[in-house]
Amino acid sequence: MPGSPRSRTALAGLAVALQRLGVILSVLWAAATIAFVAIKAIPGDPVAILTGGENIVDAAERAALVARYGLDQPLAVQYARYVAHALAGDFGQSYQYRLPVITVIAEAAGPTLQLAGAAMVLALGLGLASALVSAGRRGWLRGVLSGLELAVLSTPVYWFGLLLLVLFSFTLGWFPIIGGEGIPALVLPAVALSLPLAALLAQVLRDGLEEALAQPFALTIRMRGVGEAALRLRHALRHAALAASTLAGTLFAGVLGGSILTETVFGRSGIGQITIQAIRTRDMPLLLGLMMLSALASVLINLSLDTLYRRIDPRLRRTAP
Amino acid sequence: MTNLRDDASPPAPGRPLRRPAILGRLGMLAAAAVCLLGAAARDCRADGPVPGGTLTVGLASDTAIIDPSITGSSITALITRHVVDSLVGQAEDKSFTPWLAERWEVNADNTVYTFHLRRGVTFSDGTRLDAEAVTFNINRILDPKTTSSYAKSLLGPLDTVTAPDPDTVVFRYTQPFVPLLQGLSLPYLGIQSPTYLRDARSTTNTVVGSGPFILERYVKGSGSHLVRRKDYAWGPGFAAHTGPAYLDAIAFRYLPEAAVRLGALTSGQIQAIDEVPPANFRAVQADPRLRVVTRENPGVNWSLFLNTSRGPFADIRVRQAFQSAIDIPALVKVAFFGSLKPADNILGPATLHYDPAVARSWGFDPQRAARLLDEAGWTRTGPEGIRTKAGARLAIRLVYDTAFWGADNLTLVQAVQYAVKKAGFDLQLDPVDAGGFTARTAANDYDSASIYYVRPEPDILRTVFHSAYIPPNGANFSRVTALDAALTQAVGAPDAVRGGLYRQIQAEIIGSAYAVPLYVPAFQLGASKRLNGISWTANAKPSFYDAWLAP
């Protein structure tokens, strides 16, 4: 805002920041409450789950465990205590891992972020390339690409993972499954995870591009003698990007939570693995922590999308406060 | 670390050799050198153990906690068997051998156990093993703050554990307790470094023992990496050798997908897997580079437990009819493609005091089933052939935890469902999650449930049939109270008396149809033929201390 005093800009900025913080906190609180109610409503004795199927517990140990995890308190007290601790970033101790929930999640977050990040970058690259080369063209390339996309979209990620493993690991031996950490171990899972995302992004981007290329402004630009590539990259892409970035944001949030299948097929550690274990063993503190994490992730992604929209579309910059 | 790199590099197709040949040569030279120095004769054969290499094992399950003293996980037991040593070892023939204890004495009424420790043993952090280290471990397990449940249960009603001198540990009981040696031989009661235990803020991710391997890292959802301890100079009495292990490292890799485990094995990327899928059992055996090594689990067989406290199964005749209605060998053969043995008794044949006479006392007998149901007043009516009594259908609700049952168990039970329907039972499968299972069993809202336990010591029957363990306190899903006296007496009785008591208990369980044992669970290790020297612990887990990889 040229011309306005700096202090007013800062104040407005602060108001926006506070408002957003308020949004984040209320979403998190709502997520925590819903998760708490849901978990308490499901039947089952947490102590039995806590000690696991293969363990043997007598009455005294049972009492000790119940007291240790505060399960003997009234529900209201458990809820109040849980929310108070959660606000301070303390989600308690995981039942099955017997470690602070934050520690368990932090350990698992690294590999998942790597996988999700790599898959997202790959998906964006592939999707962009496919859409840019094929939008608005009638030839065989468009048919082949969109046919492939449809096939990929209708294939489960799980099956993809297996297929890639059989081909590139078990048969060709290029990417050993026992590689452990590092880039080589990331290639196959990231490809498996990215293909359906790339297909979806490509379809949305292509639609957007084709719509933009049919607009009168495209004709004007062509008349100015601008080349086809420049038209697509510099002008049409900006129009198509709005819808695609919304989709990408949603997909990224989904990938963070939806890496379960990929992680299972490839035997990778990560959020997906601990989520599946937490659900299976009804590890309540960990489940609550994971739900808070996914709520936080989607809020953060949406907030950064808002910022991104303004960069993509100048019209939003003018109307927004 | 260099060996990790070797693993990461892709193997040449069709060439199973994964270590640089030069290393293999060096290994042979080393073996020859050992031979020249006058070691055991078996090391001198040309085809003897070759040191070096990394063994990678694909596992179907993960474990949440790697400290064996605070979990009952069998995966933790399998992994940490290589990291912690035990006071005594148990050979496959169930005899006890020296390990950290050179020798021991047990008093006449099985209440005082005195162990004399081997000297010169150190933990991998340099701490010396002495009697204080042992008492520290045991007292830690007894401390309620440790929340040890399985390891603690193995100690039974232990009164005190003391260290009269640095080489002697004494366990005292107020009532006779026989299963102590067997419990002590398991990794759950393995001895960890007291220095490490005192300083560790949490032990869930690490373990420091005196074993032949050191746990280098454990990653949840990924696996564990173990490296050889070069100065290991002792070992269990049942092992084929003493001193350091042959393998440089063991990588336990969590690969939950059966197809992936199998693919990794057949492509030579890994050398062993657990839980060979029954459908692929024959294919693996037929592969010239692979084999399946099977060890039947000792302990309580995979069984359907019949709730004797309520519903149709409160009547012994209905339970016996259910038991007689199932052709167990035929169904098990179909469900598991012949890869597992049908059960013929509540205990597996590898369990101490397993009674073959009980095994011969029962079986498939549809006429008997029909007669017993008639006698019990369940007379056949209805178009589906389900029997009724006073308007009630003969419906049996089998509650099971979907996470606990694999697809094969479901296939088997569906076959049972079909079989008992011919006798007039409506067996209803009732899938629930872990929480639902504990809630239903605790509320006595079921007619049948299943479980199995792995342990060579018949005292495991107490966990399944003593009234103290009726849900929610344990796994007495049959809700039997009649065996308390015999089970309690058998815990501390002299061996000759114990045998008789356990025979009587097994006969009662089968005769009164408290349970229908279906199959003998087994550890099925699919392995490359390059992997030699696998040994087995008494609880049917492979040990790779003696193992080596042929170049």
- What CA–CA distance (Å, rounded) separates B301 from B451? 8
- The answer to whether A281 contacts chain B (CB < 8 Å) is yes
Interchain pair A64, B147: CB under 8 A: yes
Contact yes or no for B252/B59 (Cβ under 8 A): yes
Which among A56, A173, A176 has the least Cβ separation from residue B13? A173
Peptide bond just before B472 cis, omega within 30 deg: yes
Whether residues B377 and B481 fall in one domain = yes
Question: What ipTM score was computed for the predicted complex, to two decimals?
Answer: 0.80
pLDDT band at residue B499 under the 50/70/90 scheme: very high
Whether residues B64 and B169 fall in one domain = yes
Question: Does residue B320 form part of some domain?
Answer: yes
Question: For residue range A163-210, what is the model confidence (pLDDT) as tens digits?
Answer: 888 888 888 888 877 765 667 778 888 888 888 888 888 888 888 888
- What CA–CA distance (Å, rounded) separates B135 from B192? 11
Question: Does residue B421 form part of some domain?
Answer: yes
Question: For residue range B309-365, what is the model confidence (pLDDT) as tens digits?
Answer: 999 999 999 999 999 999 999 999 999 998 999 999 999 999 999 999 999 999 999
- What CA–CA distance (Å, rounded) separates A299 from B5? 41
Question: Does residue B7 form part of some domain?
Answer: no
- The answer to whether B222 contacts chain A (CB < 8 Å) is yes
Torsion sign, CA atoms B85, B91, B94, B97: negative
Question: Does residue B429 form part of some domain?
Answer: yes
| DSSP conformation class of B223 | E
Interchain pair A182, B403: CB under 8 A: no
pLDDT band at residue B5 under the 50/70/90 scheme: very low
- The answer to whether B251 contacts chain A (CB < 8 Å) is yes
Whether residues B276 and B200 fall in one domain = yes
Q: 3-class SS at B161?
A: strand
Whether residues B260 and B343 fall in one domain = no
Q: Residues of A227-254 as b/e, b for ≥16 C-beta within 10 angstroms? A: eeeebbeebbbebbbeebbebbbebbbe
**pLDDT, greater one: A139 or B46:** A139
Per-residue pLDDT, averaged over B460-477, amounts to: 90
Is the confidence at residue B481, as pLDDT, over 70?
yes
- The residues of chain A that CATH labels 1.10.3720.10 are 102-316
Interface-testing mutation among B158, B433, B466, with chain A (most A C-beta atoms within 10 A): B433
- The mean pLDDT of chain A is 79
Contact yes or no for B400/B431 (Cβ under 8 A): yes
pLDDT band at residue B13 under the 50/70/90 scheme: very low
- The answer to whether A106 contacts chain B (CB < 8 Å) is no
What is the percent of chain B with per-residue pLDDT over 90, rounded to a whole number?
Answer: 74
- pLDDT on residue A162: 87
Whether residues B114 and B190 fall in one domain = yes
Question: Does residue B8 form part of some domain?
Answer: no
Interface-testing mutation among B66, B148, B149, B289, with chain A (most A C-beta atoms within 10 A): B149
Interchain pair A177, B65: CB under 8 A: no
Question: Does residue B484 form part of some domain?
Answer: yes
* Residues of chain B neighbouring A267 (CB-CB closer than 8 A): 58, 221-223, 253-257, 260
Phi and psi dihedrals of A294, rounded to 5? -70, -30
- The answer to whether B1 contacts chain A (CB < 8 Å) is no
- What CA–CA distance (Å, rounded) separates B153 from B160? 15
Cβ-in-10-Å burial (0-12, 13-18, 19+) of A1 comes to exposed
Whether residues B32 and B160 fall in one domain = yes
- The answer to whether B8 contacts chain A (CB < 8 Å) is yes
| DSSP conformation class of B241 | -
How many domains in chain B?
Answer: 2
- What CA–CA distance (Å, rounded) separates B367 from A245? 71
Whether residues B397 and B529 fall in one domain = no
Interchain pair B251, A178: CB under 8 A: yes
Per-residue pLDDT, averaged over B73-97, amounts to: 94
**Record: fold of A102-316:** MetI-like fold (1.10.3720)
Question: For residue range B128-153, what is the model confidence (pLDDT) as tens digits?
Answer: 999 999 999 999 999 988 888 789 98
Question: Does residue B13 form part of some domain?
Answer: no
Whether residues B289 and B304 fall in one domain = no
Contact yes or no for A321/A38 (Cβ under 8 A): no
Whether residues B161 and B57 fall in one domain = yes
Is the confidence at residue B9, as pLDDT, over 50?
no
Query: DSSP string spanning A264-283?
Result: HHHT--SHHHHHHHHHHHT-
- The answer to whether B437 contacts chain A (CB < 8 Å) is yes
pLDDT band at residue A45 under the 50/70/90 scheme: low
- What CA–CA distance (Å, rounded) separates B463 from A198? 54
**pLDDT, greater one: B425 or B382:** B425
Alpha helix segments (H runs only) across chain A: 6-41, 46-51, 59-68, 75-87, 101-134, 140-153, 157-164, 183-213, 216-223, 228-230, 237-258, 260-266, 271-281, 284-312, 314-319
- The answer to whether B107 contacts chain A (CB < 8 Å) is no
Residue B437 sits in a domain whose CATH number is: 3.10.105.10
Torsion sign, CA atoms B73, B79, B81, B85: negative
Interchain pair A184, B8: CB under 8 A: yes
Q: Residues of B465-494 as b/e, b for ≥16 C-beta within 10 angstroms? A: bbeebbbbbbbbbbbbeebeebbeebbbbe
Contact yes or no for B487/B457 (Cβ under 8 A): no
Whether residues B47 and B173 fall in one domain = yes
- The answer to whether A71 contacts chain B (CB < 8 Å) is no
Interchain pair A175, B10: CB under 8 A: yes
Whether residues B396 and B261 fall in one domain = no
Per-residue pLDDT, averaged over B81-86, amounts to: 97
Interchain pair A280, B270: CB under 8 A: no
Whether residues B324 and B271 fall in one domain = no
Bridge partner list, B54: B249
Q: How many CB atoms lie within 10 A of CB B157?
A: 11
pLDDT band at residue B424 under the 50/70/90 scheme: very high
Question: Does residue B11 form part of some domain?
Answer: no
- pLDDT on residue A3: 47
Joined tokens for residue A141: 């390339």
Which stretch of DSSP H or E encloses residue B166?
none
What is the percent of chain A with per-residue pLDDT over 70, rounded to a whole number?
Answer: 88
Interacting residues of A113 by C-beta distance below 8 A, sequence separation 6+: A256
The boundaries of the domain holding residue B197 are: 19-294+524-549
Joined tokens for residue B448: 């049948």
